[in-house]
Structure 1
Amino acid sequence: MKIAIAGGTGLVGSALTDYLAEKGHHLYILTRNSSNKKQKPHVKFVEWLKDGTTPEKELEGVEAFVNLAGESINNGRWTDEQKRRIVESRISSTKEINRIIGSLSEKPEVLVNASAIGFYGNSLDKTFTENDTTPGSGFLASTVLAWEKEAEQASLHGVRTVFTRFGIVLDKEEGALPKMLLPYKMLVGGKIGTGEQWMSWVHIMDVVGAIAFCLENKELAGPVNVTAPSPMKMKDFGKTLGSVMGRPHWFPTPGFALKIALGEMSELVLEGQKVLPKKLEQHGYKFFYIHLEDALSDILQSK
């Protein structure tokens, strides 16, 4: 299959590129600068989002698009400027993908567009699935809503459109986990906030596997939750992390301290939601990692 990937050099994109290339797919990585990219078998870099670039000329015959492009929500405090960058980077890249799709004489079959479980808002007692169609409140929910609305425009071209709503992606080098590891390495790991908030986590390999599954499974469309089937409360997540690392779980971090340090971004760890991957399970996706202890053991011992 010929697959175009936007955001192919980020955390998820790099892992997805390696996975799909090993499967023999031909990949076109949309990038702002192709000159400094290391060439790989089955991978071609295509410049976009720069004056004078016409990526559509190199993308005729592409059968699928994957859009992972966007400013990381973990890059610093959520100032007004940073929030603007988070939103605009997602909307502008998705608009450009829709423009490219519209210009192709032969339309791709599918667009898998990244999204987030932030759509659902936060709750201590609710369980969310794709059947919950009312968005939550706050910055993350409004960002996801606008992002998915823009991606949905691809369906006007007859393109099957999937919104992969990622949970907290676990990887040793990037994302949320390295920040969680540090206190335990310093022997001061413990409960964050009340510890009652839910953490809907997912191993990086299941993010990759779920995207590939959505590309191949023609019955999947609309929102698809990409979370492990066994979310945990933060206090239990921390205990498991400490156990796998062989470190104590005892030193609590009060919520007010994180709010002072991180501002509005503190909601990423102080608030949460229990989200289940109902669609993936109903359509037969087999998770690499269902249990947190197995996922953490793999991540921490494999690198």
Structure 2
Amino acid sequence: MAKNVLLTGGSGFIGKYLTDILINNGFSVSVLSRSNKNNTDFITYYKWDLNRNYIDENAVLNADFIIHLAGEGIVEKRWTSRRKNDILESRIKPIELIYSVLQKNNKSLDAFVSASAVGIYGAETSDEICKENTAPANDFLGTTCQKWESTATKIKSLGIRTVKIRTGIVLGRNEGFLKKLLPGFKMGFGTILGSGAQFVPWIHIEDLCAVYLKAIQDEKLNGPYNATVLDNTTNETVSKTIAGLYGYSVWLPKVPAFVLKIVLGEMSIAILTGKRVSPEKIKNAGFRFQFEDLETALSNCIS
């Protein structure tokens, strides 16, 4: 029988791509959903409700692997105190529910793989190249990612191989980062945000899904891995490259940082800051990126 992979966040941008890749590689997929959905030949849906701390235990008990992708969007809404709590809890609660089922039933897994983010290195711009052993930051993004990863370590305490994928900006067709960015560029109004000097550690959706596939297939992988391309891309580079693909040069003035701070509040730091992040560790584990050139990656998403 095919090995079963249980996904949290399986109906999201990354989850939908990853589901197809897992199925194409011979896995069966289970997805935790808040609504009732009909099963297919390759996907089984189970109910859960984080607000009621409920999860159908069969989802966990029937899984060989679990990939945790669920979490409220970082830049979807202003960072009020309540929103910050939702961002954190939506990442931690699923792990705690899964942990309780595993522990209660003495259930083991071949591996538990959790999403994380390069935000663990902090919301600031510097020339530092961050590696997995770089000290975490103490700001909101840094502490959120630390707690996220720390909760995943509870799964490891059960003797289960645990991998944490620290993801950068994900590039995909009509989804994620580009879904909000491209409409303005399509109309010829693309511009640079803030100084434009902030680094944008990015990864193409196909490469990210390949990282997750490797994480469950390669028994040697343990702990955190950065999932980004290191090419010194900045916000200015991204803007000029996208505009070029649409056949024009950026002509509008930069959007001043203070304007973004007024419009977005504290959340603006996620847009106005960025560090370089090294993928050396995952490469040393044998992973090879399909997309390492920004223009090629963006062209693939736009065309």
Counterpart-to-counterpart distance in 2, 1:218 and 1:148: 19
* Offset at residue 185 of structure 1 (A): 2.1
Instruction: Please report the TM-score for the alignment, with normalisation by the length of structure 1.
Output: 0.93
* Offset at residue 183 of structure 1 (A): 2.6
Shift in alpha-carbon separation, 1:52–1:184, aligned structure 2, 3 A = closer
Counterpart-to-counterpart distance in 1, 2:40 and 2:140: 38
* Offset at residue 102 of structure 1 (A): 1.7
Query: Which AA in structure 1 matches 2:210?
Result: G
Counterpart-to-counterpart distance in 2, 1:258 and 1:65: 38
* Offset at residue 287 of structure 1 (A): 1.0
Counterpart-to-counterpart distance in 1, 2:81 and 2:87: 10
Residue 272 (structure 1) aligns with: 274
Query: Which AA in structure 2 matches 1:43?
Result: I
Q: Where in structure 2 are the equivalents of 1:103-252 lying within 5 Å?
A: 103-121=104-122, 122-132=124-134, 134-251=135-252, 252=254
Kept after mapping to 1: 8 A contact 2:67/2:113:
yes
Counterpart-to-counterpart distance in 2, 1:183 and 1:60: 46
* Offset at residue 114 of structure 1 (A): 0.7
Shifted more, 7-16 versus 46-55: the winner is 46-55
Counterpart-to-counterpart distance in 1, 2:76 and 2:236: 25
**Helix, strand or coil at the partner of 1:48:** strand
Residue 40 (structure 2) aligns with: 40
Shifted more, 141-150 versus 171-180: the winner is 171-180
Residue 286 (structure 1) aligns with: 288
Counterpart-to-counterpart distance in 1, 2:116 and 2:53: 29
1:258 to 257, 260, 265: 260
Root mean square deviation, CA, Å: 1.7
Kept after mapping to 2: 8 A contact 1:56/1:103:
no
Counterpart-to-counterpart distance in 2, 1:287 and 1:83: 33
* Offset at residue 299 of structure 1 (A): 0.6
1:151-174 deviation line (CA, Å, top 9, x unaligned): 100011111111101101112322
* Offset at residue 80 of structure 1 (A): 1.1
Counting aligned pairs with the same residue, the percent is: 34
Counterpart-to-counterpart distance in 1, 2:119 and 2:179: 21
Kept after mapping to 2: 8 A contact 1:164/1:224:
yes
1:25-63 deviation line (CA, Å, top 9, x unaligned): 011111222x2x354331100112366966223543522
**Helix, strand or coil at the partner of 1:74:** coil
Counterpart-to-counterpart distance in 2, 1:130 and 1:149: 14
* Offset at residue 105 of structure 1 (A): 4.0
Query: Which AA in structure 2 matches 1:135?
Result: P
Gaps in structure 2 of 5+ consecutive residues: none
Gaps in structure 1 of 5+ consecutive residues: none
* Offset at residue 119 of structure 1 (A): 0.3
Query: Which AA in structure 1 matches 2:152?
Result: A
1:195-215 deviation line (CA, Å, top 9, x unaligned): 111000111111111111111
Counterpart-to-counterpart distance in 1, 2:96 and 2:110: 18
